[in-house]
Amino acid sequence: MKFFIDTANLDHIQEANEMGIIDGVTTNPSLMAKEGIKGEKAAHKRYKDICNLVNGDISAEVIATDFKGMIREGETLAAIDEKIVVKVPMILDGLKAIKYFTGIGIRTNCTLVFSPGQAILACKAGATYISPFIGRLDDIGYDGMQLIVQLSGIFAVQGYETQILAASIRNPIHIIKCAEAGAHVITSPLEPILALLKHPLTDIGLEKFLADHQKANG
């Protein structure tokens, strides 16, 4: 399972990248706004900076919601760097845009996927990735993880080439369960990734090793 980091924060990207476990980055308009990035020029500069930091796929989302607008924006985004994957929302024009981009060799990430039916349509249109949002399903009383399990089953039967990119990850258990369920990729903020690292017995064990070394060596 690949690990993407879900942020537009360069410090977080750098930190995760130095851990040696990052295979890509996802962003969205909310994450860009959180970093105070305003306007197309600033957004494009941030995408380029991220591409220069990370060796992997970098998702950049279109703002337009009509077919022509998405095509215009997506082609401009794809021209920033060959690492860019154009992120397109799961709406009718988005589906048409995915089909178009696939036809001209631009890779896509279909975002805001909440059901198996939406996922199947995105696969048929040729999406490189689909992004089912686990946390947001949990938020409204559905079991987000169940969607990942169901999609893994469908993908195994159908042999889709599209990759399941589990998104809206909120905690380390989400990541572990995605690995169990067979997600191809998870995208997570830095905190749940760092939480995977921690175990109290590791800290206690290390403290004892160092104390014993100190006793023996003075």
Q: State the minimum distance, in angstroms, from the CB of residue 167 to ligand G3P.
A: 3
Q: Which two tokens mark 21?
A: 């476990």
Q: Judged by CB under 6 A, which of 3, 114, 133, 155 binds ligand G3P? A: 133
Closest distance of CB 106 from ligand G3P, Å: 20
Residue from 6, 57, 61, 73 that binds ligand G3P (CB under 6 A)? 6
Which helix or strand (DSSP H or E) is residue 108 part of? strand 108-113
The verdict on whether 177 is a catalytic residue reads no
CA dist., res. 7 & res. 54, Å (int): 13
168 binds ligand G3P (CB under 6 A): yes
The answer to whether residues 35 and 2 touch, using CB atoms and an 8 Å cutoff, is: no
Buried b / exposed e across 22-37, counting CB within 10 Å, b at 16+?
Answer: bbbbbbbeebbeebeb
For ligand G3P, the closer of residues 6 and 57 by Cβ is 6
29 part of the interface to ligand G3P, by CB under 6 A: no
61 touching ligand G3P, by CB under 6 A: no
The 94-113 contact track toward ligand G3P, x by CB under 6 A, reads --------------------
**Smallest gap from residue 102 Cβ to ligand G3P (A):** 21
Q: State phi, psi for 98 to the nearest 5 degrees.
A: -60, -45
Catalytic residue among 68, 87, 96, 208: 87
Indicate whether 26 belongs to the interface with ligand G3P (CB under 6 A): yes
**135-154: contacts with ligand G3P (CB under 6 A):** 135-136
Q: Do residues 193 and 212 lie in contact, with contact meaning Cβ atoms separated by under 8 Å?
A: no
Nearer to ligand G3P, 114 or 155 (CB): 114
Alpha helices in the chain (DSSP H): 10-18, 29-34, 40-53, 67-80, 92-103, 116-125, 134-139, 144-158, 172-181, 190-197, 200-217
Of 10, 36, 45, nearest to 25 by C-alpha is 10
Q: Is 28 in the site for ligand G3P (CB under 6 A)?
A: yes
Write out the catalytic residue numbers.
87
Binding stretches for ligand G3P (CB under 6 A): 6, 26, 28, 131, 133, 135-136, 167-168, 187
